[in-house]
Chains A and B, each alone.
Chain A
Amino acid sequence: MRAARWVGGRVLTGLVTLLGIALLVFAAVRVVPGQAERVLLGPLATDEQRAALVAELGLDRDLVTQFGIWMGKVLTGDLGTSIVSRQPVLDELAMRLPVTATIAIMALVIALGVGIPVGVLQALRARRRGGAVVSRVVGGLGISIPEFVLGALVVLLFSSVPLGITIGAFTPVAEDVGQGLLSSLLPALVLSVFCAAATARTTRDAVLGVLVEPYVQAAVARGETPWSIVRHHVLRNATIPILTLAATLLAYLLGGAVIVEGLFNVPGVGSYLLLAMDRRDYAVVQAGVMLAAVVFVATSVLVELVSSLVDPRVSTIGARA
């Protein structure tokens, strides 16, 4: 009962956050200098054309009604129509989101698969001097190398040496699963370097923090093997910071990585939104911001729920506050 109320509270907080973001987005578009009909139709349009557009966009109504209509449309899945392509925004996003999601999930899987074991090992060997220096240098390099440098190097390598993956010919997963995954691999790899380094560092710190806990010392005193201690006690207790980071990384990756998408010709969300901002395609920008907001809020609510499952004290503390 208490748990259900806590979960309900988290979800409600998330919805309120989204409503706030919707208000901000709505206001931001209307605060931008220049009336929409002038920006959209240009200086040569007639007054009739402008009036028709104002009526079409509903800009002649009061702000509260406009917001209500927009929210109603968003909630029923109508994100408006792109002024540039004259296509429904939802359809365009639905086409591009799977592309971005495939790359994001691949990058995250690589990052966690590499970062967590490396972080655990680093923590367990933190006392040995040589290893610490090497891991710090490699980790620092991974975190600080810019995507456009790493991506450009990968593009250069794969376009000058035939390694089986063609650069520039991107196949969405929706068309061909095998080819789609293969062409997602390089962008995912480039994106995963930063994420893996960040995961390794967070994991290392979290594990180091857990290793000095009395319950780990007690397990050592019971003569348990290091592997058993890591598996049964350390990983569980180090989960929450790693999970929080993973959710942040996922939300970041789903928002679309503009540079990497550009380098690898990926028709993803990032390049779409960049183009829309350039052309003042407000419906697309609004939808993109809302999408990013939903992803962020949803992952953070999910992280809190999973955290409370992993560590029962989280929900207790939450209920008390």
Chain B
Amino acid sequence: MTLIEIDDLVVEFQTSRGTVRALDGATLSADAGEALAIVGESGSGKSTLGTAIGALLPANGRFASGSVRVDGVDVGALDRQGLRALRRDALGFIPQDPIATLDPTQRVGRQLALVVRALGRDASRAALAQMLDEVRIADSADVLRRYPHELSGGMAQRVAIAIAMARRPRILVADEPTAALDANVRREVLRLIFEAAEQTGATVIWLSHDLEAVARWCRRVAVMYRGKVVEVGPPGVVLQRPEHPYTQSLIAAMPSRLQQDVPVRTYTELLAAQGAEAAAPLPSAPAPDRARASDPAPASADEEARA
């Protein structure tokens, strides 16, 4: 069953330097309960796409055309109350910088209590400690008494996950949830997110830079470039045999490739090397689940560049 349907979405921001298109006809859909990763460089529109699901665009942004549907409901057409209900009942966001998303003036326990009370649930000390136990915080009673600035990044991210999961959201949007964390904590936090999602049947939309981790955790990956979704498919296919030149350059820059002495070029460099032919406009957004032909992938950009 399709839970999220993003159709030809255009999002524009009014800036001092004029109108900027963050999304330029992005099309993507996600099924209930699936784990979908969105990869792409900074500025490709990943984050905008993630926030668009909850209509959480900054004040200077707007849906110019296209639509976002969650469970068949057009998010752009909802009034304030409808939006609040959608965000409260269906969406959970896991932030990039978890410490900043906690109120600096209140202890963790108090903030958890605020969230739980808003849901009309038990906000006793024991219930709050239980919430932290579920995200594998060892000394939950102690952490409840701490202020956000007294938490480590990993600890704060667990608290943020506990807050997001408290409402058992149907959709969990994680915007580079491990970007601010130490390498050894990353894996643990990812496991926590995906296990929690699996338990509750939540759909995970994971915005990431980490292609190798994406291949490990997600059944499908979408590649974004310049406000469009340029490629969607199973990580095995998209990452092994990338079709779009941008995906190829993205993969060429993976750390494991670097060790193999594969020359790394940015996409722009590739375009320059390939000349006018490759500089042609990007292919329009493919159908979300396009069947991939079994014929050989187009010649690798690297080879072409070398020729």
| Contact surface of A with B, Cβ cutoff 8 Å | 127, 213-215, 217-218, 220-225, 228, 232-233, 236-237, 310-313, 316
A138 → B minimal CB distance (Å) = 24
CB-defined contacts of A311 to chain B, threshold 8 Å = 104-105
A188 → B minimal CB distance (Å) = 32
Check B147 for interface membership: any CB of A closer than 8 A.
yes
B84 in contact with A225 (CB, 8 Å): yes
Taking a contact as CB atoms closer than 8 A, the residue among B85, B103, B118 that contacts A228 in the complex is: B118
A214 in contact with B100 (CB, 8 Å): yes
- Docked CA distance A218–B95 (Å): 8
A222 in contact with B103 (CB, 8 Å): no
CB-defined contacts of A127 to chain B, threshold 8 Å = 59
Check B133 for interface membership: any CB of A closer than 8 A.
no
**Which residues, 80 to 128 on B, are CB-close (under 8 Å) to A?**
83-89, 91, 93, 95, 97, 100-106, 114-115, 118
CB-defined contacts of B100 to chain A, threshold 8 Å = 213-215
| Contact surface of B with A, Cβ cutoff 8 Å | 54, 56, 59, 83-89, 91, 93, 95, 97, 100-106, 114-115, 118, 147, 149, 163, 167
CB-defined contacts of A215 to chain B, threshold 8 Å = 100-104
> Can you show 13 pairs from A to B with CB atoms below 8 A apart?
A213-B100, A214-B95, A215-B100, A217-B101, A218-B93, A221-B54, A222-B87, A222-B93, A223-B83, A223-B86, A237-B104, A237-B105, A310-B105
CB-defined contacts of A214 to chain B, threshold 8 Å = 95, 97, 100-101
A51 → B minimal CB distance (Å) = 64
B104 → A minimal CB distance (Å) = 6
CB-defined contacts of A313 to chain B, threshold 8 Å = 104, 147, 149
Contacts A214-B95, A224-B84 known; list 19 others, CB within 8 Å: A215-B101, A215-B102, A217-B101, A218-B95, A221-B54, A222-B87, A222-B93, A223-B91, A224-B88, A224-B118, A225-B84, A228-B118, A232-B103, A232-B114, A310-B105, A311-B104, A312-B104, A312-B147, A313-B149
B106 in contact with A221 (CB, 8 Å): no
CB-defined contacts of A222 to chain B, threshold 8 Å = 87-88, 93, 115, 118, 163, 167
Say whether, besides A222-B87, A222-B115, A224-B118, A312 and B105 are in contact (CB < 8 Å): yes
